[in-house]
Amino acid sequence: MKKKILTIIGARPQFVKAAVLSRLFKNHSWIEEIIVHTGQHFDSNMSDIFFEQLSIPQPKYYLDIHSLPHGAMTGRMLEQLEQIMLKEAPQLILIYGDTNSTLAGALAASKLNIPIAHVEAGLRSYNSFMPEEINRILSDHVSSLLFCPTFKAIENLKNEGITFNVFHAGDVMYDATLFAIEKISQDIITKLEIKEEAYAVLTLHRQENTANKEHLKTMLNYVIEHSKINNLQIVWPIHPRTKNFIENDILNHIRVIDPLNYQDMHSLLYFSAVVYTDSGGLQKEAYFHQKPCITLRSETEWVETIENGWNRLWNTSDYTSPQKKLKIMEMVERAL
């Protein structure tokens, strides 16, 4: 008799992680995976093309829940996921990461007493103002199986009294990156007419960075000045919503492009010189591609990338104090 696993995904990082396990599930006839896509990321580049390029089976359920405040989004997901779980009666709920989709899946399953497996458990930024931090903590505390990508994640769970069914599983995003590297192509940099290792990749999407116009301007000025030191063009795959906040004088110094699909984004990373980002996933992908990264946050859950010298945190003192600006080659030398 087949065992049902109900996989809940809704955002780009979850598509990437789920692809790795979904490909493995295909090789086990006793597993029936049912994929639920909440719709949290809903445009074609952020969703449909990812499924195609990552060879993820099409979702059985698509909830189309997006563009809502955190509470409303999580609540609607919770309601619909509960109905699906009652209908499908799975033996296990599989959740990834720290999105609203993750939390909604964890809460719905815990209320129905269905075991939960959390991939990427135990990560902590210790910034309670981040919605993702609340999502990951609550999800961990109701999960039955906790698959940790790092030993630090295991230590974090132990400090919170969680020690049963905790496993060091490694990082599935590394497997996903290896899958992407096999298909790396120069097509994207040829199309954009940029030269290999002559540009920096920039991404910014977190609410705490994009909601405050003055903070965003200060941060972007830092990126512009830092890239000038290293004579690098800045390439920013930007969402239209974020672009509306940016002043024209800033955009004159940054090459903005439409959001990229999964494979093109990996190719853009592969041929870049450095990465500026507030994304947790992109910090790791930069590390896997051995690209220096500056994280545009005051903390990171991926402390290992800092300790290994490939990543550093941004703060406003770096912008106001030129002597604190660390050049790209210095980062590379330290890492090596």
Point out the residues that are catalytic.
205
Contact present, 57 and 21 (Cβ < 8 Å) = no
* Residue 138: closest CA among 97, 83, 94: 97
**Apex CA 182: angle with CA 286 and CA 175, to 5°?**
60
Q: b/e string for 34-48 if b means 16 or more Cβ within 10 A? A: bbbbbbbbbeebbbe
The vertex-34 CA angle with 79 and 51, nearest 5°, equals 100
- Enter the tokens of residue 22: 């979904």
Strands across the sheet containing 311-313: 255-257, 233-237, 199-203, 274-277, 293-295, 311-313
| Alpha-carbon 31 to chain mean position | 27
Q: Got the DSSP string for 143-181? A: -SEEEESSHHHHHHHHHTT--TTEEE---HHHHHHHHHH
The set of long-range contacts for 325-333, using a CB threshold of 8 Å and a minimum separation of 24, is: 325/225, 325/226, 325/229, 327/229, 327/230, 328/230, 328/232, 328/273, 328/274, 328/292, 331/274, 331/292, 332/292
Of 7, 97, 102, give the one whose Cα is nearest residue 57. Answer: 7
Q: From CA 274, how far away is CA 271, in angstroms rounded?
A: 9
Torsion of CA 113, 114, 118, 119, to 10 degrees: 180
The length of the chain is: 336
